[in-house]
Amino acid sequence: MDVRDKLYIGGQWVAPAGTGTLEVIDSTSEEVIGSVPEGSAEDADRAVRAARAAFDSWAATPVAERTAYLTQVAAALSARMDDLADLITHEVGMPLTLSKLVQVGLPLASFSSAAQIAADFTWEQEVGNSLIVREPVGVVAAITPWNYPLHQIAAKVAPALAAGCTVVLKPSEVAPLNAFVLADIFAEVGLPDGVFNLVTGVGPVVGEALAGHPEVDMISFTGSTRAGRRVSEVASASVKRVALELGGKSANIILDDADFPKAVADGVGKCYLNSGQTCSALTRMLVPRSRLAEAEEIARATAEVFQPGDPFAEGTFLGPLVSAMQRDRVRNYIEKGVGEGARLVTGGAEAPEGLDRGYFVAPTVFSDVTPDMTIAREEIFGPVLVMMPYDTEDEAVAIANGTDYGLAGGVWSGDPARAERVARRMRTGQVEVNGGAFNPMAPFGGYKQSGNGRELGAFGLEEFLEVKAIQR
């Protein structure tokens, strides 16, 4: 049991205002593995005021000193990689090997890269008779999700601190324990009091208090589109800056000249990463109607490799979902797909054989899915791939863009130039061509209801900066 009974505010571990606690559940065993305080609006206010008190001094701290702290944090994360990966696998269910690479490796890279980007950044420039200076936006409230808990924290906190902002973090109450490890690290490296603050709690209480707080200058939120709308609504009262990274329903266009065995297998893997609990997952596979049967067989065979199991066991590619609520939600979508006439290629809503305990969902593939079906329109957030046939390239692009979302996408073709032409037509923040690798230095964010603003790389740093023109 990892019992955390204090919040990190003003450089100190302090008792929360209330006595409520939130249990943390192991997604594989369904057992309680820890607890954290159920913070209140009063706790959020204390944290914001601590961040406000620390802001002027931190903003005036030389960039080299700020980045030195980030480098120390990266080193501390590296030293704790095995323990952190183990913890996040218990919290979220990602197979342990992947947790080391992704759930800890990406946060480590975020702190390291934020330090380097800030060191190389052009903070001032001359434009005519003006000196253009970039300054920290102020106190930042970061509200993060459970699917990549430490990665999403690092993607906000590292550039915000590099920019000279102070931070109040509200991590997801579903997977919060890793955030306490990060707070321990900040205390260990001697980050000045109040520069980083941690308040756990639920969104309707702590999240709302942060979004509406008059001393918060910016909200950086990652989560559902529904919750993002609420954050924007509450934040609008004080006209604070809002950066949103929300849902997705990303299309993967397999063109008729693609290497189908490679393209379809890669697409299944991109859909099932983290048991499908990835906002940028390529969940809609668009396939030429004339080759649909061929693609279905490849998808079926690939899905069978992703048999769910113990995420701590060697050879497991698919762990459980994060919670009973999420498992039931995904199974409901599968039932809805069957009910609306989609054809089940493999998988289904029943519990995988031999896995009655744990929040497991069978890897599922649907075919003959039409754009009007619920499973083609709404984000499922589970290991469910929908295959959608098309007849022409133009129709494929229209289907890909015919969604409220625009976070990610993919295109496969034997002609890289053709694939890039199609990629340019997709209304989405990222597109991978022929399985192009994720680039943690490239801007990440979406079009339309997938949000606004960008994270990662130099674009992620710029989100936390104001621009001032000094005329001379």
Query: What is the phi/psi pair of residue 220, to 5°?
Result: -115, 115
Distance from C-alpha of 85 to C-alpha of 98, rounded to nearest angstrom: 9
279 is catalytic: yes
Distance from C-alpha of 106 to C-alpha of 148, rounded to nearest angstrom: 10
Query: What is the phi/psi pair of residue 202, to 5°?
Result: -95, 155
Is 305 exposed, middle or buried (CB count within 10 Å of its CB: 0-12, 13-18, 19+)?
A: middle
Tell me whether strands 21-25 and 32-37 are parallel, antiparallel or unpaired: antiparallel
Look at residue 13 and give its three-state secondary structure. Answer: strand
Distance from C-alpha of 251 to C-alpha of 80, rounded to nearest angstrom: 36
Gyration radius (Cα) of the chain, Å: 22
Is 356 exposed, middle or buried (CB count within 10 Å of its CB: 0-12, 13-18, 19+)?
A: exposed
Residue among 38, 91, 245, 379 flagged as catalytic: 245
Cβ neighbours of residue 193 closer than 8 Å, sequence gap 6 or more: 10, 11, 12, 50, 54
- Structure tokens of 431? 């597109």
Closest CA to 64 of 123, 5, 126: 123
> Distance between the two ends of the chain, CA-based, in angstroms?
61
Query: Mapped to the 3 state alphabet, what secondary structure does 74-127 carry?
Result: HHHHHHCHHHHHHHHHHHHCCCHHHHHHHHHHHHHHHHHHHHHHHHHCCCEEEE
Element (H, E) at 328: helix 324-339
Type of residue found at 456: L
The phi-psi region of residue 434 (left if phi > 0; otherwise alpha if psi is between -120 and 50; otherwise beta) is left
Residue among 279, 296, 379, 463 flagged as catalytic: 279
Distance from C-alpha of 63 to C-alpha of 164, rounded to nearest angstrom: 8
DSSP structure string for 150-180: HHHHHHHHHHHHHHT-EEEEE--SSS-HHHH
271 is catalytic: no
Taking 3-state DSSP, the helix, strand and coil percentages for the chain, each rounded to the nearest 5, stand at 45, 20, 35
Residues recognised as catalytic: 245, 279
